Amino acid sequence: MATPRTPHTRKPDAQMNGAAIILKALQDQGVEVVFGYPGGAVLPIYDEIFKSNRIRHILVRHEQAAVHAAEGYARSTGKVGCVLVTSGPGATNAVTGLTDALMDSIPIVCLTGQVPTHLIGNDAFQEADTTGITRPCTKHNYLVKDVTRLADTIHEAVYVATTGRPGPVVVDLPKDILFAEGPYYAPNGNAHPSYKPQVKGDESAIERAVDLLAKAKRPIFYGGGGLINAGPKASKLYAELVRLTQAPTTLTLMGLGAYPSQDRQFLGMLGMHGTYEANLAMYNCDVMINIGARFDDRVTGRIADFSPNSTKVHVDIDPSSINKNVVVDLPIIGDAANVLEQMIKVWKAKGYKANAKPLEKWWAQIEKWRERKCLAFTEDTSIIKPQHAIKRLYELTRDRDTYITTEVGQHQMWAAQYFGFEEPNRWMTSGGLGTMGYGLPAAMGVQIAHPDSTVIDIAGEASYLMNIQELSTLAQYRLPVKSFIVNNQWMGMVRQWQELNHGGRYSESYSESLPDFIKVAEAFGGVGLRAETVDQLDDVIMEMLETDRFVLADIMVKKDENCFPMIPSGAAHYEMLLGPDDKAELETSENGMVLV
């Protein structure tokens, strides 16, 4: 922002150059780690990093990876993730990461270098219109043209990124501003004059919601990523309310971990590759309580047939999520933790009890759906089934302190289905944007935040190649990230769609000319392992877990396995394909074909 919003009445704490102001502001905001990559426009900041030692800088190998690493860091800690990149190509390389963070509501502050103010607009060397390019893929962005506004802009950026519905914020920094002497103002708690998201839910709406819940005969809770963003307290309260009401709960891909996966009341993930019981319970429920989910098209299937007979309550901190895809009966704007706390209070105050009789019937119905065992798969005695690989990985890491990231594709869905999460912040995946290449850098960020934990990227071989350069970062910082490559030698998810929707014409979806991942690991200074048969799998997993360096475990799995259950694009929840034999029954409709 060029012009000061209000004239400064505060006294500056000190005078220093712009680069030092930035570091001081980040430090005062509690930022400990910055993921970045240097270049001409940000050299003054790197000079300060060199001199000050106040902030730990992690040198990535590609700016996209810097943002994903910051996302992994943020999602696994609940703190803001911080990124520093240079002007021009540095900024444009960060765009995919920023879009990813926007779609999944991850708090990121990304500092981008810019050419000096007097050259802006001149097509100067490494100039890009960064605020223009990033406007639609950030929650907000700034161009700082006045060093007196610099400190407050950084404070404001952190505030905007972390409050309300979190998201990425870009601060574009012309080089002359980094050199200019200016005042440093400490954070004063008055972060933004007008941006003040509503966090407490409307009391009367909450009473009505609890009332609905108490009277429901077939209730269901549908929790999303908002539960994770609202902090671990929100997940605790969510579990408390779910247990009080004895209702079943499902979670979205982004919400996994918000409710313990092993609990009887958990029906598994819902949506395109969700469980039979979760999707049918959503279809048949009479009261739906959505907390922090956004009725994404991957979840709803065909909108016209989405849970047609239910009264829907939608709790969200972002008013624009309300009635965007699905019209709800009772919207509640607020932070998930606050609203859940309010709901529990009302439930207790009114002396409500779980509605035993109808619930018993509802659960009996759900158990019938459960008996279909939609996640069962036929084991093979020699070839490793991908589902089996993930199941074993889960079972062999259960007593460990484990964090999981994924790439994008079938392996991601299998990970969501077969890996259980008992608490929030343990599961990092690119849900909204579906960014191949997310998992390895995200795992890097998680490992930086949790140096002693087991951090595993469940990867597909094609996705893995998209940010494989980050192995060099793992080597430099001795980050013992484990890459569990579910290697089917196909862009499996693409192949599956081509099989189901395009007559088995496998156009360009074979993972051609794959590298030898063992040699790749060794070339970068890590350890490479391979499992080719079922009996090798456990040994490889154990060896991977016990190695204190980074490991690439190349798990050669059945090549043409498909991911089920599946609701074809444009179909409804009751039109699930449960396995390969269902395929013939339901062709994807013409309307569905055009959907992504």
Ligand X SMILES: Cc1ncc(C[n+]2csc(CCOP(=O)(O)OP(=O)(O)O)c2C)c(N)n1
Number of neighbours of residue 585 by Cβ within 10 angstroms = 9
Q: Exactly one of 63, 277, 561, 575 is catalytic; which is it?
A: 63
Using the CB atoms, write b or e for 67-99: b if 16+ within 10 Å: bbbbbbbbbbbbbbbbbbbbbbebbbbbbbbbb
Per DSSP bridges, beta strands 33-36 and 81-85 are parallel
Q: Exactly one of 15, 27, 50, 125 is catalytic; which is it?
A: 125
Size of the site for other proteins (CB under 8 A): 31
**Contact positions with other proteins (CB under 8 A) in 317-356:** 318-320, 322-327
**Contact positions with Mg ion (CB under 5 A) in 433-472:** 460-462
Q: Toward other proteins, which CB reaches closer, 232 or 319?
A: 319
**Contact positions with ligand X (CB under 6 A) in 401-420:** 407-411
Q: Toward ligand X, which CB reaches closer, 282 or 486?
A: 486
Scanning 39-47, 140-148, 365-373, 553-561 for contacts with other proteins by CB under 8 A, the matching segment is 140-148
252 part of the interface to ligand X, by CB under 6 A: no
CB 71 within 8 A of CB 428: yes
Size of the site for Mg ion (CB under 5 A): 5
Q: Toward ligand X, which CB reaches closer, 466 or 541?
A: 466
Half-sphere exposure of 373 (CA within 13 A, CB side): 3
462 part of the interface to ligand X, by CB under 6 A: yes
463 part of the interface to ligand X, by CB under 6 A: yes
Q: Toward other proteins, which CB reaches closer, 151 or 333?
A: 333
**Contact positions with ligand X (CB under 6 A) in 321-350:** none
126 noted as active-site residue: yes
CB 225 within 8 A of CB 292: yes
371 noted as active-site residue: no
* Burial class of residue 427 (count of CB atoms within 10 Å of its CB; 0-12, 13-18, 19+): buried
Q: Exactly one of 493, 544, 556, 576 is catalytic; which is it?
A: 493
355 part of the interface to Mg ion, by CB under 5 A: no
Label each residue of 300-343 as H, E or C: HCCHHHCCCCCEEEEEECCHHHCCCCCCCCEEEECCHHHHHHHH
Q: Toward ligand X, which CB reaches closer, 70 or 493?
A: 493
Q: Toward ligand X, which CB reaches closer, 35 or 490?
A: 490
100 part of the interface to ligand X, by CB under 6 A: no
Q: Under DSSP, is residue 393 helix (H, G, I), strand (E, B) or coil? A: helix
493 noted as active-site residue: yes
Q: Exactly one of 32, 126, 365, 476 is catalytic; which is it?
A: 126
493 part of the interface to ligand X, by CB under 6 A: yes
Q: Helices 410-418 and 492-501: crossing angle, nearest 10°?
A: 100
CA distances from 267 to 210, 263, 281, 305, 378 (A): 22, 9, 9, 20, 22
In this structure, which long-range contacts are made by residues 544-549, counting pairs with CB atoms below 8 Å and at least 24 apart in sequence? Answer: 544/482, 544/484, 545/396, 545/397, 545/400, 545/454, 545/482, 547/480, 548/480, 549/478, 549/480, 549/525
432 part of the interface to ligand X, by CB under 6 A: no
498 part of the interface to ligand X, by CB under 6 A: no
Chosen residue from 10, 51, 56, 135 binding other proteins by CB under 8 A: 135
Residue among 400, 395, 460 at smallest CA distance from 429: 460
Chosen residue from 88, 460, 480, 526 binding ligand X by CB under 6 A: 460
CB 476 within 8 A of CB 59: yes
Report how far residue 73's alpha carbon sits from residue 68's, in angstroms, rounded to the nearest whole number.
8
The one of other proteins, Mg ion, ligand X, none whose footprint includes residue 5, by CB under 5 to 8 A per kind, is: other proteins
Q: Exactly one of 24, 139, 145, 175 is catalytic; which is it?
A: 175
175 noted as active-site residue: yes
Label each residue of 85-153 as H, E or C: ECCCHHHHHHHHHHHHHHHCCCCEEEEEEECCHHHCCCCCCCCCCHHHHHHHHCCEEEECCCHHHHHHH
Report how far residue 142's alpha carbon sits from residue 172's, in angstroms, rounded to the nearest whole number.
6
192 part of the interface to other proteins, by CB under 8 A: yes
Chosen residue from 54, 140, 200, 236 binding other proteins by CB under 8 A: 140
Site string for ligand X, 433-452 (x = CB under 6 A): -xxx----------------
125 noted as active-site residue: yes
The residues binding ligand X (CB under 6 A) are 407-411, 434-436, 460-463, 486, 488, 490-494, 511
The residues binding other proteins (CB under 8 A) are 1-3, 5-7, 131-132, 135-136, 139-141, 143, 160, 165, 192, 194-195, 303-304, 306, 318-320, 322-327
Instruction: Point out the residues that are catalytic.
Output: 63, 125-126, 175, 493
The residues binding Mg ion (CB under 5 A) are 460-462, 488, 492
